[in-house]
A and B are shown apart, each in its own frame.
Chain A
Amino acid sequence: MNFTLHIWRQKNGDIKGDFVTYQIDNIDEDTSFLEMLDQLNEQLIAKDQDCIVFDYDCREGICGACSLVINGYPHGDKKATTTCQLYMRDYKHQTELWVEPWRAESFPVIKDLTVDRTSFDNIIQSGGYVSVHTGSAPEANALLVDKHSADEAFNSATCIGCGACVAVCPNASATLFVAAKITHLSLLPQGKIEEQDRAQKMFNQMEAEGFGSCSNHRYCERVCPKGISVSNITKMNQVLGWA
């Protein structure tokens, strides 16, 4: 397979970036999208050029590091998938690809396709936890959790913190990310006690980080690689006393 790639190159956050076009040929269809970029980078090294920088780590869809907008879709247009889990066989009919970083003011570009998502860590630090002291936890089965709640909490907890929800949102809102953590902890008795305080702190921090507000476009749930539902936002609004 042969591809024409228009890749966003930007030296750093202070300098304007632009698309640069590359041609890459003879790509096997079982090659992953990131392996295709690896091969392109090997070619750039051979030509004495600086490599294209992009974030990745586990390459199995769980760490949340990878973050590319491909032909306008965060993580590509395949549903419930991270960029690292895209394979070139998914691009049989699109041989011209535009590859960009997440775009949001609260995720400033560091270089090329890499952005700074420290704002997500700051939101968790503001209250996204249960305040339990290490070593003083009660016997695990002393606290029963009905299976349905545990399963629902798990569904919210699978958020990998990649930021695709922000990247796709016209308001660059982090509401789905924030709501998923609030919902995960609120659905469990362990997290119930602090829920209001937690939700308010996290919401305030989201605003302080410069993320926009939710205006119900619902694009976020469509691009979420873990299929996190906007019903989490409803739950968050309930916790915040807005619904």
Chain B
Amino acid sequence: MSNLYSNEPTGPLEDRWEKHLFNLSLIAPQNRKKHKVIVVGTGLAGASLCATLGEAGYQVSSFCFQDSPRRAHSIAAQGGINATKNYQNDGDSVWRLFYDTIKGGDFRARESNVYRLAELSGNIIDQAVAQGVPFAREYSGYLANRSFGGTQVSRTFYARGQTGQQLLLGAYQAHSRQLENEHVSHQSRAEMLELIMVEDKARGVVVRDLVSGEISAHTADCVILCTGGYSNAFYLSTNAKGCNTSATWRAYKQGAYFANPSFTQIHPTCVPPTGENQSKLTLMSESLRNDGRIWAPKNIEDCEKNPADIKEEDRDYFLERMYPAFANLVPRDVASRAVKHICDQGHGVGSKIHGQRLGVYLDFSAIIEKLGLEAVAEKYGNLFDMYSSITGEDPYQTPMKIYPAPHYTMGGLWVDYNLMTTIEGLFAGGEANFSDHGANRLGASALMQGLADGYFILPKTVANYLANSNLVDVDDTHPQVTQSLKTVKDRIHQLMNAPTPKHSPEYFHQKLGKVLWEACGMSREADRLNQAIGEIAELESQFWQNIKVTGVDQDLNQTLERAGRVADFIELGKLMCQDALMREESCGAHARVEYLSESGEAKRDDDDFSFVGAWEYKPEQPMLRKEQLNYEFIEPTVRNYK
């Protein structure tokens, strides 16, 4: 097992990024148009990167699978974006956000990266406001803040419950502004299916036009993947239906290491599933936990009752009971496990699926009584409307029901301090990389990271790469390009022509989801993980034998799109289990049953597992590489939210 080096600068933490920036090479304005970069994905990271590189004068080609770049899944983020402005004068600082993020990530993130993220957070808000992002404001005209998900300061900026939408539209507009420029181009309904490698460097992508089915190659000086996370490996998640791992998985199979694949976040406050044909789960913003109280019936016989008929003394406000200091605001993993635990004990509410009620109450009656309906509607109106349109119930009158669901993946492509993967010339930004959240992500930090990567970090580190790289000319006739095109076409042919076509992509995806949710979800243990690895291997061979795709490939064919994505999810699912099995400790969202304290807290093993687990693809078995994590500035402590 060789070690991985992060290329992070040394010296005082607060000087590192500035020092690094000075050491990065620049490209003179007149030379920038000679360099071509490809950006895959147009969420917050991708759109902000395209806008910034386009404005700087580079040739930028972007692709997204959606019908418009404005629809990337960043749009669905509800709660907010953190920044260390300290407008509320409540003791916030760069150092405190850095500390909270490292601690929240349970000491499995790189100090230099996280500090940089905290440092850049303020500028993101400046940028967004200048673009016209309509953040919530106070009557004085100043920006409003709220406290969010387990923090003791109010550092979260928000635009009602649609912060992701407003930030994405800001980035989309900035990107659109560059598309008037002839050096910048974008193609929607285009999915990346292969990474083109020339002389061990990333030099382009193979893309399928989702409308015509045409396969084409696009070459460039470097490639940046901003293609999001892989929560959809679980089938049911809060991610948009189209979110997939295919771009990052293609990169992994070409030699980019995949880091911490088992670090997946389960969000505690989602609308519970109601039946077997459920296609996705909907998140209710975590901000609801600021004012809602979570409870379940103390007596199992009350679980079927109308909640209004359950007496106050028969309600178990279990988070307040178990964690008096943080109560309903404990971190996501702690809250999720507690909810699952309560439901596993038979205290769940709502409709029964496979004999179990999967839900607990999130009750707003106390805050409505205190502040009045109007004030609560002002704060949470759109979330309440959303809940009531999904469930047909009115949360102003009766408590919401919630249950945890996969929501975000901290794991992703391993990147160094420059956000470059282990493949030269291949970068990863936003949720697609593993970089800043360790074993668990704080609420309102995903938007911050995507935009920090896209607006401020990647534009500088990509330029540095371009300035220092010596690249051979590659055009569409290069043998590697021809080879990559052939690989993609062969794979599509295989998906369209299985030996005994029997089952749809959904069939396999649901099977995979069930295995992962049971074995690699909120709690994991060695036996179950070993079993799951076997089950997934079996599922994989069944898939290639029995996958059934109707229609033709030279057409808009959503069944074919899904089949390709599911094939990659199956392989990734196996790696997630292998990673969870390898990590014989609990940390953050990774809870190994064997390594939990009696009260259910994660028992970290810093002596043996204070490293990033990065997997290198090998045809037989993936190989584990380690990046040792050194805590120079923060002493790792035991997380305790009691």
Contact in complex: B386, A132 (CB < 8 Å): no
Closest CB in chain A relative to B87 CB, distance in Å: 7
Closest CB in chain A relative to B131 CB, distance in Å: 5
Contact in complex: A184, B132 (CB < 8 Å): yes
Question: Is B291's beta carbon under 8 Å from chain A?
Answer: no
Question: Is A208's beta carbon under 8 Å from chain B?
Answer: no
Q: Which residue of B lies closest to A34 (CB)?
A: B279
Question: Is A196's beta carbon under 8 Å from chain B?
Answer: no
Most buried by B among A38, A55, A89, A130: A130
Contact in complex: A130, B69 (CB < 8 Å): no
Can you identify 27 A-B contacts, CB atoms within 8 angstroms? A28-B274, A28-B277, A31-B277, A34-B279, A51-B550, A51-B559, A58-B75, A60-B282, A61-B389, A63-B73, A65-B66, A111-B555, A121-B176, A121-B188, A124-B176, A125-B176, A129-B132, A132-B174, A134-B51, A134-B127, A134-B459, A137-B129, A137-B131, A139-B126, A140-B143, A157-B169, A190-B129
Q: Hey, which chain A residues are within 8 Å of B39, CB to CB?
A: none
Stretch from B157-165, B366-374, B627-635 contacting the other chain: B157-165
Question: Is B197's beta carbon under 8 Å from chain A?
Answer: no
Contact in complex: A53, B177 (CB < 8 Å): no
Interface size counted on chain B using CB atoms at 8 A: 82
Contact in complex: A154, B138 (CB < 8 Å): no
A144 and B142 in contact, given A39-B277, A53-B556, A137-B126 (Cβ under 8 angstroms): yes
Question: Is B568's beta carbon under 8 Å from chain A?
Answer: no
Checking A42, A51, A118 against B188 with a beta-carbon cut-off of 8 angstroms, the contacting residue is: A118
Q: In whole angstroms, what is the CA distance A191 to B169 when docked?
A: 14
What sequence of 0s and 1s flags, for each residue 166-193 of chain A, a beta carbon within 8 Å of any chain B beta carbon?
A: 0000000000000000001100101100
A185 and B550 in contact, given A87-B392, A125-B180 (Cβ under 8 angstroms): no
Checking B122, B165, B277, B559 against A62 with a beta-carbon cut-off of 8 angstroms, the contacting residue is: B165
Closest CB in chain B relative to A61 CB, distance in Å: 7
Q: Hey, which chain A residues are within 8 Å of B162, CB to CB?
A: 62, 158
What sequence of 0s and 1s flags, for each residue 66-77 of chain B, a beta carbon within 8 Å of any chain A beta carbon?
A: 111111010110
A111 and B556 in contact, given A50-B551, A157-B134 (Cβ under 8 angstroms): yes
Contact in complex: B280, A45 (CB < 8 Å): no
Q: Which of B46-84 contact A (CB under 8 A)?
A: 48, 51-52, 55, 66-71, 73, 75-76
Closest CB in chain B relative to A19 CB, distance in Å: 19
Contact in complex: A65, B559 (CB < 8 Å): no
Q: Hey, which chain B residues are within 8 Å of A211, CB to CB?
A: none
Contact in complex: A121, B68 (CB < 8 Å): yes
Q: Which of A57-75 contact B (CB under 8 A)?
A: 57-65
Q: Which 9 A-B pairs have the closest CB atoms?
A: A144-B141, A137-B130, A129-B173, A50-B551, A154-B134, A137-B126, A57-B240, A58-B240, A140-B129
Most buried by B among A46, A111, A124: A124
Contact in complex: A42, B504 (CB < 8 Å): yes
- 10 additional A-B pairs beyond A32-B279, A157-B159, A161-B70, beta carbons within 8 Å, are A58-B76, A60-B76, A63-B240, A64-B68, A117-B68, A121-B68, A129-B177, A132-B131, A134-B174, A135-B52
Q: In whole angstroms, what is the CA distance A147 to B137 when docked?
A: 5
Closest CB in chain B relative to A77 CB, distance in Å: 14
Q: In whole angstroms, what is the CA distance A144 to B71 when docked?
A: 30
Q: In whole angstroms, what is the CA distance A161 to B55 when docked?
A: 25
A147 and B139 in contact, given A51-B559, A57-B73, A132-B131 (Cβ under 8 angstroms): yes
Q: In whole angstroms, what is the CA distance A111 to B188 when docked?
A: 16
A137 and B123 in contact, given A60-B282, A190-B131 (Cβ under 8 angstroms): yes
B residues within 8 Å of A by Cβ? Answer: 48, 51-52, 55, 66-71, 73, 75-76, 85, 87, 122-123, 125-132, 134-143, 159-160, 162, 165-166, 169, 172-174, 176-177, 179-180, 188, 211, 238, 240-242, 274-275, 277-280, 282-283, 351, 385-386, 389-390, 392, 455-456, 459, 504, 506, 548, 550-552, 555-559
Q: How many A-B residue pairs have CB under 8 A?
A: 220
What sequence of 0s and 1s flags, for each residue 68-97 of chain A, a beta carbon within 8 Å of any chain B beta carbon?
A: 000000000000110001010100000000
Q: In whole angstroms, what is the CA distance A160 to B174 when docked?
A: 17
Q: Hey, which chain B residues are within 8 Å of A56, CB to CB?
A: 241
Checking B130, B173, B240 against A124 with a beta-carbon cut-off of 8 angstroms, the contacting residue is: B173
Q: In whole angstroms, what is the CA distance A134 to B128 when docked?
A: 10
Q: Hey, which chain A residues are within 8 Å of B128, CB to CB?
A: 140
Most buried by B among A44, A45, A131, A151: A45
Q: In whole angstroms, what is the CA distance A89 to B131 when docked?
A: 41
A117 and B55 in contact, given A57-B242, A146-B141 (Cβ under 8 angstroms): no
Checking B52, B75, B132, B240 against A130 with a beta-carbon cut-off of 8 angstroms, the contacting residue is: B132
Contact in complex: A45, B504 (CB < 8 Å): yes
Closest CB in chain A relative to B156 CB, distance in Å: 14
Contact in complex: B75, A154 (CB < 8 Å): no
Checking A65, A87, A139 against B67 with a beta-carbon cut-off of 8 angstroms, the contacting residue is: A65
Contact in complex: B130, A62 (CB < 8 Å): no
A138 and B126 in contact, given A42-B504, A132-B131, A184-B134 (Cβ under 8 angstroms): yes
Checking A38, A130, A150 against B137 with a beta-carbon cut-off of 8 angstroms, the contacting residue is: A150
Q: Hey, which chain B residues are within 8 Å of A64, CB to CB?
A: 68, 70-71
Contact in complex: B506, A42 (CB < 8 Å): yes
Q: Hey, which chain A residues are within 8 Å of B278, CB to CB?
A: 35
Most buried by B among A60, A153, A184, A185: A60
Closest CB in chain B relative to A159 CB, distance in Å: 9
Q: Hey, which chain B residues are within 8 Å of A120, CB to CB?
A: 68
Q: Hey, which chain B residues are within 8 Å of A129, CB to CB?
A: 131-132, 173-174, 176-177
Q: Hey, which chain A residues are within 8 Å of B188, CB to CB?
A: 118, 121
Contact in complex: B550, A49 (CB < 8 Å): yes
Contact in complex: B134, A62 (CB < 8 Å): no
Q: In whole angstroms, what is the CA distance A138 to B85 when docked?
A: 13
Checking A45, A58, A145, A184 against B550 with a beta-carbon cut-off of 8 angstroms, the contacting residue is: A45
Contact in complex: A57, B241 (CB < 8 Å): yes
Q: In whole angstroms, what is the CA distance A140 to B351 when docked?
A: 47
Question: Is A141's beta carbon under 8 Å from chain B?
Answer: yes
Q: Hey, which chain A residues are within 8 Å of B68, CB to CB?
A: 64, 117-118, 120-121, 161
Q: In whole angstroms, what is the CA distance A44 to B551 when docked?
A: 11
Q: In whole angstroms, what is the CA distance A50 to B504 when docked?
A: 12
Q: In whole angstroms, what is the CA distance A48 to B125 when docked?
A: 52
A125 and B241 in contact, given A57-B71, A117-B67, A153-B132 (Cβ under 8 angstroms): no
Closest CB in chain A relative to B380 CB, distance in Å: 15
Question: Is A133's beta carbon under 8 Å from chain B?
Answer: yes
Contact in complex: A110, B556 (CB < 8 Å): yes
Closest CB in chain A relative to B563 CB, distance in Å: 11
Q: In whole angstroms, what is the CA distance A114 to B211 when docked?
A: 10
Q: In whole angstroms, what is the CA distance A61 to B370 when docked?
A: 31
Question: Is A30's beta carbon under 8 Å from chain B?
Answer: yes
Q: In whole angstroms, what is the CA distance A28 to B455 when docked?
A: 46
Contact in complex: A30, B274 (CB < 8 Å): yes
Closest CB in chain B relative to A166 CB, distance in Å: 14
Contact in complex: A110, B211 (CB < 8 Å): yes
Q: In whole angstroms, what is the CA distance A231 to B185 when docked?
A: 35
Question: Is A212's beta carbon under 8 Å from chain B?
Answer: no
Q: Which residue of A lies closest to B180 (CB)?
A: A125
Contact in complex: B556, A134 (CB < 8 Å): no
Q: Hey, which chain B residues are within 8 Å of A188, CB to CB?
A: 132, 134
Contact in complex: A35, B279 (CB < 8 Å): yes
Closest CB in chain A relative to B374 CB, distance in Å: 14
Checking B166, B455, B548 against A45 with a beta-carbon cut-off of 8 angstroms, the contacting residue is: B548
Contact in complex: A140, B282 (CB < 8 Å): no
Contact in complex: B389, A158 (CB < 8 Å): no
